[in-house]
């Protein structure tokens, strides 16, 4: 087997095992294979092994590589997991099936406009900056409830869940627990949290989507 296929199978097995260990159904946790910076030839083995949900960080990169791959694999689901500029909202709504990085008023407004124009509504996740890191996107935890309310009431957006990226130098579990708490009080079931190094802890605390790249595709150049 190709190395990517082997690593993908091992990741899928680890996700299923973690779910069962924490009293959850494996099917309740969706794997997003993070294919950012990966060329077609690196992604194809995962597609051929049956993986259909992929994450990308950049609109332009995704626009360049995914239309051709989707011609061969039309059931692919593409998730935007990187920071999204408001002026890229039109392209993002056209290309992505889910956007995990809704984090400010201007972006909510543009997404609402483009969803209305295109008649196409990607799943939307509000990104919460659980560590309140100045260099990172996301609404601060104390502002999340109000922002979610405005997205729904003022912009007419359907919010599917929340996303976070814990600080690299802190234990992730308190951040996952905080995200789950905010989601619960806002009636949100979707929790996009956990990456290659910490997805098992995220599953323990309720993750419904885990974003795994290097554990599947290997280190990026």
Q: In this structure, how many other beta carbons lie within 10 angstroms of the beta carbon of residue 75?
A: 7
pLDDT (tens digit, 9 = 90+) per residue, 178-217? 999 999 999 999 999 999 999 999 999 999 999 999 999 9
Q: How far apart are CA 82 and CA 66, in angstroms?
A: 16
Instruction: Determine the average pLDDT of the residues in 40-68.
Output: 97
pLDDT at residue 48 greater than cutoff 60: yes
Q: How far apart are CA 110 and CA 108, in angstroms?
A: 6
pLDDT (tens digit, 9 = 90+) per residue, 71-85? 999 999 999 999 999
Q: What is the CATH number of domain 3-216?
A: 3.20.20.10
Return the beta strands (E) in the chain as ranges.
30-34, 53-56, 77-80, 98-102, 123-127, 159-163, 190-192, 209-212
Residue 122 pLDDT: 98
pLDDT at residue 114 greater than cutoff 60: yes
**How sure is the predictor about 46, in pLDDT bands with cuts at 50, 70 and 90?**
very high
So where are the chain's domains? Answer: 3-216
Give the whole-number percent of the chain exceeding pLDDT 90. 98
Query: What Å distances lie between residue 215 and 8, 56, 65, 97, CA to CA?
Result: 8, 16, 21, 23
Instruction: Determine the average pLDDT of the residues in 148-152.
Output: 98
pLDDT at residue 220 greater than cutoff 80: no
pLDDT at residue 24 greater than cutoff 80: yes
pLDDT at residue 221 greater than cutoff 80: no
pLDDT at residue 33 greater than cutoff 90: yes
pLDDT at residue 1 greater than cutoff 70: no
**How sure is the predictor about 219, in pLDDT bands with cuts at 50, 70 and 90?**
confident
């Amino acid at each position: 087997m190709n190395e990517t296929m082997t690593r993908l199978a091992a990741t899928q097995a680890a996700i299923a095992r973690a779910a069962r260990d924490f009293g959850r159904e494996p099917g309740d946790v969706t794997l997003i294979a993070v294919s950012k910076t990966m060329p077609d030839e690196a992604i194809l083995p995962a597609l051929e092994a049956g993986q259909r949900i992929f994450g990308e960080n950049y609109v332009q990169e995704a626009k360049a590589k995914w239309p051709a791959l989707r011609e061969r694999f039309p059931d692919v689901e593409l998730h935007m997991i990187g920071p999204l500029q408001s002026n890229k909202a039109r392209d993002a709504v056209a290309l992505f099936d889910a956007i995990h990085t809704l984090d400010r008023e201007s972006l909510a407004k543009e997404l609402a406009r483009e969803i209305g124009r295109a008649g196409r509504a990607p799943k939307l996740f509000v990104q919460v900056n659980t560590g309140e890191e100045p260099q990172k996107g996301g609404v601060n935890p104390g502002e999340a409830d109000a922002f979610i309310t405005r997205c729904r009431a003022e912009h007419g957006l359907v919010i599917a869940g929340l996303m976070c990226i814990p600080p690299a130098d802190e234990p992730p579990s308190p951040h996952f627990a905080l995200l789950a708490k905010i989601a619960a009080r806002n009636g949100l079931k979707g929790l996009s949290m956990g990456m290659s190094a910490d997805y098992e802890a995220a599953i323990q605390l309720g993750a419904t989507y885990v974003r795994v790249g290097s554990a599947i595709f290997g280190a990026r150049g």
